[in-house]
Amino acid sequence: MSPNAESTAFRSALEVIRGVEPRVADAIAAELADQRESLKLIASENYASPATLLAMGNWFSDKYAEGTIGRRFYAGCQNVDTVEALAAEHARELFGATHAYVQPHSGIDANLVAFWAVLADRVESPALRRAQVRQVNDLTEADWFALRRELGNQRMLGMSLDAGGHLTHGFRPNISGKMFDQRSYGTDPTTGLIDYDRVAEAAREFKPLILVAGYSAYPRKVNFRVMREIADSVGATFMVDMAHFAGLVAGKVFTGDFDPVPHAHIVTTTTHKSLRGPRGGMVLCGPELADQVDRGCPMVLGGPLPHVMAAKAVALAEARRPDFADYAQRIVDNAQALADGLLRRGATLVTGGTDNHLVLIDVSGYGLTGRQAEQALLDSGIVTNRNSVPQDPNGAWYTSGIRIGTPALTTRGLGATEMDATAELIHTVLSRTTAGTGPDGAASKAKYVLDPAVAESVGKQAADLLIPFPLYPAVDLG
């Protein structure tokens, strides 16, 4: 696509939208402007290509396509079959998987498809059939208890939230925590690293149906060969949620023991984050679970989103190009450069560094909560998110950590020099911010004090840092 074609495409789209609801068109244009000016360090965000974005705005959005390729509940889905097949083909080739299911709307949906596929494969029970026809919102805690008992009180063992795990790995506020009797494995309190011997001990004691690996805030590699051995030792299904690091697997930065696909029974992922595609999910598995996974709609999902599957096909095709491997390696190089820059300036990092795309700063060393640090950085043009650290005394709302990641800035072209400058800006803000007090004079976990002049100065430096690396340089909205 030529630069003029990209500008024409997006300008024309906004013009059409503005003719119906100009405020929506203005918000879309403002979002592009905001993203161009912000130093985006949210580890779960990225910038999809213009081709991927444009693939979502078309007539596929008008189609219902429940079912799977060749077995739809609606007629007239031949073109949907084409894009779904292409997305699945690219996913299989990219990750070396036997089977790919590209319908999930999100990572949570992908996990639910995987959970129910494993249950349906491993457990024969009338409770499963009832669960599919009853309204989930009508089930009481007693109903869920009875359902778990009828399913054999199935168990899940996954990484704890404060160690970097995800809400969908069996925690009570999420549906996974109502489906399973869940227990967590944490990290070594001294190093912050996974202790595989302790995971094995927990598995032997708990005997889970599903052992889950994967993370949203763990800055190191996971040895999936060892985790599979642990799962096999207790007869568990081994599932990996690689939503955060799928791009590093696709780009062959994570190989051998650190590539989950050859070792896991089933793998789930999002298609955005480090994979740089549209917001959506995907499931990879072997032939033994393929039939159950393909029942994701209507078992768990509603109608698939054909326009998003089209965008997945485009993004996965992009990820198969040789330059994506270089991009994936630069993500890790940048994260390590950012970590090194922070460490040299005295910041405390969980595990003392990173092997992947993210860095977790323990901001208690600055006398701040995660919430205070997050907002102070945002005031200064640096977009991050607060995050728990292991054994976090401030809980999951205020937290003691800030999670930062490099996929988005790497997409823009920033390198090691800019990562060191970014570390300086982060340290400047955090070291100049102090905890505030509430109306009663008591210490606050949310309020903070930062000299507006410091925020303004850092914000200008952050904007200047981005000038040589324009976002969507071929898109000129006029």
What's the mean pLDDT in 188-192? 92
pLDDT value at residue 119: 82
pLDDT band at 304 (very low <50, low <70, confident <90, very high): very high
Long-range contacts of 301-305 (CB under 8 A, 24+ apart): 301/103, 301/104, 301/105, 301/109, 301/113, 302/66, 303/64, 303/65, 303/66, 304/65, 304/66, 304/80, 304/84, 304/103, 304/105, 305/61, 305/103, 305/105, 305/280
Query: Taking 90 as the threshold, does the pLDDT of residue 396 lie above it?
Result: no
Residue 391 corresponds to which tokens in the numbers above? 């054994």
How does pLDDT run across 29-74, given as a tens digit for each residue?
A: 999 999 999 999 999 999 999 999 999 999 999 999 999 898 888 8
pLDDT value at residue 133: 47
Cα→Cα distances 103→24, 182, 323, Å? 28, 27, 27
Look up 89 and say whether it is catalytic: no
CA–CA gap between residue 311 and residue 278 (Å, rounded): 6
Query: Taking 90 as the threshold, does the pLDDT of residue 79 lie above it?
Result: yes
Query: Taking 80 as the threshold, does the pLDDT of residue 132 lie above it?
Result: no
> Before 189, cis peptide (omega within 30)?
no
Look up 279 and say whether it is catalytic: yes
**The residue type at 11:** R
- Exposed, middle or buried: residue 308 (CB in 10 Å: 0-12, 13-18, 19+)? buried
Catalytic residue among 220, 221, 228, 279: 279
pLDDT value at residue 73: 84
Query: Taking 70 as the threshold, does the pLDDT of residue 2 lie above it?
Result: no
Catalytic residue among 273, 276, 295, 386: 273
Look up 464 and say whether it is catalytic: no
What's the mean pLDDT in 412-424? 98
Q: Which residues pair with 210 in a beta bridge?
A: 156, 237
Query: Taking 50 as the threshold, does the pLDDT of residue 125 lie above it?
Result: no
Catalytic residue among 36, 64, 81, 447: 64
pLDDT value at residue 88: 97
- Going along the chain from its start, the domains and CATH numbers come out as 59-319 (3.40.640.10), 323-466 (3.90.1150.10)
Look up 273 and say whether it is catalytic: yes
Task: Give the 3-state secondary structure of residue 436.
Answer: strand
Query: Taking 70 as the threshold, does the pLDDT of residue 152 lie above it?
Result: no
Look up 241 and say whether it is catalytic: yes
Catalytic residue among 37, 45, 66, 291: 66
Instruction: Give the end-to-end CA distance of the chain in Å, rounded to a whole number.
Output: 19
How does pLDDT run across 82-124, given as a tens digit for each residue?
A: 999 999 999 999 999 999 999 999 999 999 999 888 887 765 5
Q: Give the residue from 302, 222, 301 showing the smallest Cα distance to 260.
A: 222
Q: Which residues pair with 39 in a beta bridge?
A: 382
Hey, how many other C-beta atoms are within 10 angstroms of the C-beta on 287?
A: 8
User: Whose structure tokens read 């650190």?
Assistant: 258
pLDDT value at residue 437: 87
Catalytic residue among 270, 271, 410, 411: 270
User: Which of 11-15, 115-119, 394-398 has the lowest average pLDDT?
Assistant: 115-119
436 versus 441: the higher-pLDDT residue is 436
pLDDT band at 250 (very low <50, low <70, confident <90, very high): very high
Residue 349 DSSP label = B
Query: Taking 60 as the threshold, does the pLDDT of residue 350 lie above it?
Result: yes
Q: Which residues touch 326 (CB under 8 Å, ≥6 apart)?
A: 251
> Which backbone phi and psi does 209 adopt, to 5 degrees?
-70, -40
Look up 270 and say whether it is catalytic: yes
Q: Give the residue from 6, 12, 5, 1 showing the smallest Cα distance to 471.
A: 6
Contact at 8 Å (CB) between 156 and 169?
A: yes
Q: Which residues touch 403 (CB under 8 Å, ≥6 apart)?
A: 42, 43, 217, 358, 359, 360, 361, 384, 385, 386, 387
Percent of the chain with pLDDT over 90: 77
Contact at 8 Å (CB) between 105 and 112?
A: no
pLDDT value at residue 3: 57
Contact at 8 Å (CB) between 83 and 313?
A: yes
Catalytic residue among 84, 162, 241, 340: 241
Q: Give the residue from 392, 396, 346, 402 showing the smallest Cα distance to 370.
A: 402
pLDDT value at residue 71: 87
pLDDT value at residue 130: 54
